[in-house]
Amino acid sequence: MLELKVKKAILETKEKKEKLLIEQTLIKKRILMIFESEKNIKNFDSLPKFKKEKIAYKLVSEINFLVETNLLNEQLKDFLGKIFGDNLTGVFQTIVNPMVVSLMKSLELADYFKESLISSLSSDPTKLSQSLRSCDELSKLIAESLSDAIHNRIVQKTGTDSVESKFLNSALSDAVKDPRFSENVQRKINSVVCDLFSVMSDKASKVYDKLKPSEGGIGGLFTP
């Protein structure tokens, strides 16, 4: 009886490994179709601006497709990391950098927000890709990133301020970490982000027509 259980466990493990290998091969082929070659993955930063934008938009759409079809699990996320190495962040910064510059101007943000926003928005490609499906989702992600930036700023200042300020900073830190703070920020910035989203949609349609939503109104950007 024990021997049968062991054989069954070994067979199941083997089947899982084979399934994962098939999925990895499929994903790699799809990714290479977007980049056209492994050389373009390695030398992404040296590609022409238009080509970088086209690849970045296509990759966002592809990631959303993989998520919707349940192909992108944690193991396959790690596999994507192996394909791209450090270049994956650079690919998404092709979209994130101009978006942050526009936000900085529209929201009149202090300079210290810039690097924090770029880092936060680029850190999770799947989360960013999913947020680019609608302006509301994008507003939510940006609001969370802004809240994190404010929290980090408060924490940094706590180490240098007076004792009285540390108590106040602690209270402010707790308030900022409350989900209601981020929700309030989202409501405040929603119209600005939706305007930006519309501009991104128009720009995306020029380099990758699949990204332009077919339904009326804002929504559906970077969907499979």
> For residue 137, how many other CB atoms are within 10 A of its CB?
17
Position 158 scores a pLDDT of 61
Position 219 scores a pLDDT of 39
For residue 102, the enclosing domain spans 2-211
The CA dihedral of 206, 107, 110, 154, to the nearest 10 degrees, is -110
Please check whether residue 48 lies inside any domain of the structure: yes
Burial 153-186 (b: 16+ CB within 10 A, else e): bbeeebeeeeeeeeeebeebbeebeeeebbeebb
Write the pLDDT tens digit of every residue in 44-100: 889 998 889 889 988 888 888 888 888 777 766 777 777 787 777 888 889 899 999
Write the pLDDT tens digit of every residue in 131-158: 988 899 999 999 999 999 988 888 777 6
Burial label for 40, CB within 10 Å (0-12, 13-18, 19+), is middle
Q: What percent of the chain has pLDDT over 90?
A: 18
Token duo for residue 174: 């707790």
pLDDT level of residue 211 (50, 70, 90 thresholds)? very low
Q: Is 125 helix (H, G, I), strand (E, B) or coil?
A: helix
- Average pLDDT for 11-40: 82
Position 143 scores a pLDDT of 94
Say which DSSP state 188 is in: H
Q: Would you say residue 206 has pLDDT above 70?
A: no
pLDDT level of residue 175 (50, 70, 90 thresholds)? confident
Which stretch of 93-102, 141-150, 204-213, 214-223 has the lowest confidence by average pLDDT? Answer: 214-223
Position 164 scores a pLDDT of 54
Which stretch of 84-88, 121-125, 185-189 has the lowest confidence by average pLDDT? Answer: 84-88
Q: Would you say residue 208 has pLDDT above 60?
A: no
Position 26 scores a pLDDT of 84
The rounded distance, in Å, linking the Cα atoms of 72 and 78 is 10
Q: Would you say residue 114 has pLDDT above 60?
A: yes
Residues 6+ apart with CB under 8 A from 125: 59, 63, 80, 88, 89, 91, 92
Position 188 scores a pLDDT of 92
User: Which residue type occupies 34?
Assistant: I
> How many domains does the structure of the chain reveal?
1
User: Which residue type occupies 134?
Assistant: S
Position 146 scores a pLDDT of 92
Please check whether residue 68 lies inside any domain of the structure: yes
Q: Would you say residue 7 has pLDDT above 70?
A: no
The rounded distance, in Å, linking the Cα atoms of 175 and 215 is 39
Position 200 scores a pLDDT of 80
Position 66 scores a pLDDT of 86
Q: Would you say residue 213 has pLDDT above 70?
A: no
Instruction: Give the H or E element holding residue 100.
Output: helix 87-106
Residues 6+ apart with CB under 8 A from 88: 80, 81, 125
Q: What is the DSSP string of 20-75?
A: HHHHHHHHHHHHHHHHSSHHHHHTGGGS-HHHHHHHHHHHHHHHHHHHHTT---HH
Please check whether residue 220 lies inside any domain of the structure: no
